[in-house]
Amino acid sequence: MKRLAIVTIAASALALTACASLAPYGQQMGPNGQGYSDQQIERDRFRVTYRGVGAPGPVADMALFRAAQLTVEQGYDWFEVTQRWIDGRPDSAGGVRPSVSVGASSGRYGGWSTSGVGVGLGFDLSGPQPTSTTLEIVMGRGQRPDRRESYDARGVQDAIRPRL
């Protein structure tokens, strides 16, 4: 009976995880949907947001890819990230994460004394969590600045495209 319960819980967790996964790269559909959105701030300055579900890394990659794609579409060669916001927990990927806790207690009441030990086992079945990355970028032409946050747009596209 215990084995059946464990198998049922594990199967349910896998089913929940499959339901909430990162959607294919694309434009955001609706206010709470997954995908990219961008907003022009100045002629060469944009804010790019990518909303997804799961680990922050792949969502950040898609935001960088959209920034590179937008840079090329606007006729520029490189972009520099001037601001970066990441919203989501490091463990946003979800999945089944077991936890074990152990506790002990003792007490005395009148002439009686008691002690006890408890062991608990729990499973986090919450599944992947929403994650978003927002980049504010400035675009440029010609020689890319020699700064850590500047990127060659076509190089970023070539590096990230195989992972999409």
pLDDT over 80 at 29, yes or no: yes
pLDDT over 80 at 10, yes or no: no
| 68-87 residue pLDDT tens | 999 999 999 999 999 999 98
Query: Strands across the sheet with 35-42, in order?
Result: 35-42, 45-53, 130-140, 78-87, 150-152
The reported pLDDT for the residue numbered 1 is: 56
pTM: 0.70
Residues in a beta bridge with 118: 103
CB of 118 closer than 8 Å to CB of 102: yes
CB of 27 closer than 8 Å to CB of 36: yes
When pLDDT is averaged across residues 115-124 and rounded to a whole number, the result is: 71
DSSP secondary structure letter of residue 23: P
Specify the 3-state DSSP secondary structure of 127: coil
Q: Would you list the domain boundaries of the chain?
A: 2-163
In angstroms, the CA 134 to CA 61 distance is 11
Specify the 3-state DSSP secondary structure of 55: coil
Higher pLDDT, 160 or 31: 160
In angstroms, the CA 11 to CA 15 distance is 6
CA quadruple 148, 154, 157, 159: dihedral positive or negative?
negative
Residues in a beta bridge with 137: 46, 81
CB of 122 closer than 8 Å to CB of 85: no
The reported pLDDT for the residue numbered 16 is: 46
Main-chain phi, psi angles of 76, to 5 degrees: -105, 165
Q: Quick one: which of 132, 134, 129, 52 has its CA closest to 92?
A: 129
pLDDT over 50 at 17, yes or no: no
pLDDT band for position 42 (50/70/90)?
very high
